[in-house]
Structures are given as structure tokens and as C-alpha cells.
Amino acid sequence: MQAMVLDRAGGKLSLREVAMPVPDDRQLLLRVRACGVCRTDLHIVDAELERPKLPLIPGHQIVGEAEDGRRLGVPWLGWTDGECRYCASGRENLCDAARFTGYDIDGGYAEWVVADERYCLPLPEGFDDLQVAPLLCAGLIGYRSLRLVGDGERLGLYGFGASAHIVAQLAAHEGRRVFAFTRDGDVEAQAFARELGAEWAGSGAPPEELDAAIIFAPAGELIPAALRAIAKGGSVVCAGIHMSDIPSFPYELLWGERLLRSVANLTRRDGEEFLALAPRVPVRTHVETCPLVRANEALDKLRRGDVRGALVLIP
């Protein structure tokens, strides 16, 4: 089969003819119908995450078709041990031995993939393959971040990419007011955010105090900026797997019971809850497509911030 393979972190993906994967007892063989491109893929390719298996086929927003015709989603959480103290307390996203799709296990930048059936997610009707792919990480991590940030009414979203464009719709559905922060001068992203329900979009300080903020952009300097923007008792959630170093900031920014935390991975329960909620909103994903063989160009676009909504590869 054809696959885009990473041989060396910090390099480029190579188009390669590789052997078809062979499922073990717990795994299904899935034909890849679409695979979303995530910023995490970019962090892996750019050597910002430490221990990918190599060579690696990236991709963890996989819409696959099983041999019996079922359409299944393969997300980032690919396997857990089920017995560590995290798994035993309903926090499998923090499992010490977790294995992740497109990182520890070959992923969906390929024509076929194998995945542990227990971690595959049934996909909702009413979304075509391209529309549903970004729900599998951008949507899921966004959903988990929104749950963890609390129920503050005025919500700031820092970095208006694939995840924020879905979270904005969930937040509007819950009756929240959304404030979208983009790169300086990115008027196109600001217009896009307003189309999706943001009442304000810009860069710099928001027009009023916020109650909560989610940071999607991998820029550490956004943490003091977001803490400065939120009211007492507010929360800041960092949704990305990697971020540049955080500049030091005065304790005063955290004082007043402000809360700062990260979101790590997902649980299968997050997947079930979010995929049940998405059709009820209904979430509409804005997707740009790219042929699998041009995955490097897709990653370049994401690196430049030149994507409206989400990017999806088609084998």
C-alpha cells in the first residue's frame, strides 16, 4: 500500500510503498477513507515531541471502513493498560503506558491502517467522511478543553484553527459569548471566527474581561496574556501537546483564584459524549482537502497558519 512515512524527526515525509499492516487479535484492518491533519502531527514531524516510533506513519483523525462495512473513527488514544492508577480511576487519558495513534502506533497517512477495536469510535450519521475527520481530535480535544474550563459565560479562544472553529460552535450552542484571538492582522481568520458566532475577533487585549480561556496556539507567551484577560476565579486551559517556554509573570496574574491547567489526550468516554453531541449542535466543520501524497504541503500550510478550519488528507 501507499503511505507517507517519517524516517527521521525533523525531516520530511516520504511517499513509500509499504507492506499492508496485519491486525492482531484485538485489531481491525480498516481502509482509510480520510485522515485529518492535526497540529500534533506537525510537532512530531518537526521533532518537538520526544519519542515517536520511527519509521512512523503519522495521522490520528482516521475515518476508516472495516471489512464488514462499518465506518469507524480512530483517534489519538490507541491503547491503554487498563490497570494503572489512572486507568483504574476513569482517567485513561493519563495512562502511564498509553500508546497513541500516529506516534507509538502507525496512523492514517496511508491507504490502510490497523487499530484496536476497543478504542475505535462509531461515527455519527449525517457527516460525510471529510466533515467527520476533524471531529476525531480537533473536535474531541476542544470538547474536553471546554468541559475543563468550567462554565464561564465569556470564553476566549486563543488561536482560531481547526479546534477553535469547532469549540466556537459548541460554546455558542451553550449560550456562551465567544472572543476569538488570532495572529496579529489575520483579518481573514477574524472574519471566519465571527461567521462561526464569535462576537469579537482580534489580537491583543479583549474589549472586556473574560471568564475563561482556552489556548490552542503553541505559544507560551499567551499564558500570561490569557491570565491577564480573565476575571477572578476564571480558568485558563492549554489544549496543545506542545508549547514554547512560558515567560515568567507576576503572581498577581494567578492570584484571585485563577486556575491554569493543561488538557492531555482523551478518554473513550469523551469520544462517545462528543460524537453524540456534535450532530445535535449541529457542528459544521470547515474542511480543506489535500491528496495523501501531498501531505508535506498540507503540513507546510498548517505551519504557516494558512488554513481556514481543518485540513483533511484523502488517500
Contacting range for Zn ion; rule: CB under 5 A; set: 85-93, 165-173, 216-224, 296-304: 85-93
In terms of CB distance, is 80 or 131 closer to Zn ion? 80
Helix 162-173 crosses helix 138-148 at what angle (to 10 degrees)?
50
Is residue 135 a contact partner of residue 143, using CB atoms and an 8 Å limit? Answer: no
Contacting range for Zn ion; rule: CB under 5 A; set: 133-141, 163-171, 213-221, 279-287: 133-141
In whole angstroms, how close is the CB of 106 to Zn ion at the nearest point?
16
CA separation for the pair 207, 185 (Å, rounded): 17
Listed in sequence order, the residues at least 6 apart from 96 whose beta carbon sits closer than 8 Å to its beta carbon are 81, 84, 86
Q: Is 95 in the site for Zn ion (CB under 5 A)?
A: yes
Q: Is 74 in the site for Zn ion (CB under 5 A)?
A: no
Among 80, 93, 235, 285, which residue sits at the site for Zn ion (rule: CB under 5 A)?
A: 80
Give per-residue burial for 191-202: e unless 16+ CB within 10 Å, then b.
ebbeebbbebbb
In terms of CB distance, is 77 or 137 closer to Zn ion? 137
CA separation for the pair 210, 284 (Å, rounded): 26
What's the distance, CA 55 to chain centroid? 23
In whole angstroms, how close is the CB of 62 to Zn ion at the nearest point?
11
In terms of CB distance, is 38 or 312 closer to Zn ion? 38
Written as nine digits, the cell of 53 is: 516510533
Between CA 160 and CA 36, with CA 303 as vertex, the angle to 5 degrees is 70
Q: Is 104 in the site for Zn ion (CB under 5 A)?
A: no
Among 13, 32, 33, 40, which residue sits at the site for Zn ion (rule: CB under 5 A)?
A: 40
Contacting range for Zn ion; rule: CB under 5 A; set: 80-88, 145-153, 154-162, 286-294: 80-88
In whole angstroms, how close is the CB of 20 to Zn ion at the nearest point?
25
Cross-sheet strand order for the sheet of 210-215: 198-202, 177-181, 154-158, 210-215, 230-238, 259-262
What backbone phi and psi angles, to 5 degrees, belong to 42?
-65, -45
Contacting range for Zn ion; rule: CB under 5 A; set: 87-95, 207-215, 230-238, 246-254: 87-95
In whole angstroms, how close is the CB of 290 to Zn ion at the nearest point?
17
Among 84, 219, 246, 264, which residue sits at the site for Zn ion (rule: CB under 5 A)?
A: 84
Q: Is 310 in the site for Zn ion (CB under 5 A)?
A: no
Q: Count of residues binding Zn ion (CB under 5 A)?
A: 8
Q: Is 87 in the site for Zn ion (CB under 5 A)?
A: yes
CA separation for the pair 261, 278 (Å, rounded): 25
Among 105, 121, 137, 239, which residue sits at the site for Zn ion (rule: CB under 5 A)?
A: 137
Is residue 41 a contact partner of residue 138, using CB atoms and an 8 Å limit? Answer: no
Is residue 20 a contact partner of residue 112, using CB atoms and an 8 Å limit? Answer: yes
Residues 165-204 contacting Zn ion, CB under 5 A:
none
Helix (H) or strand (E) holding 171: helix 162-173
CA separation for the pair 53, 44 (Å, rounded): 10
Among 5, 32, 34, 38, which residue sits at the site for Zn ion (rule: CB under 5 A)?
A: 38
In terms of CB distance, is 140 or 229 closer to Zn ion? 140
In whole angstroms, how close is the CB of 86 to Zn ion at the nearest point?
5
Q: Which residues bind Zn ion (CB under 5 A)?
A: 38, 40, 80-81, 84, 87, 95, 137
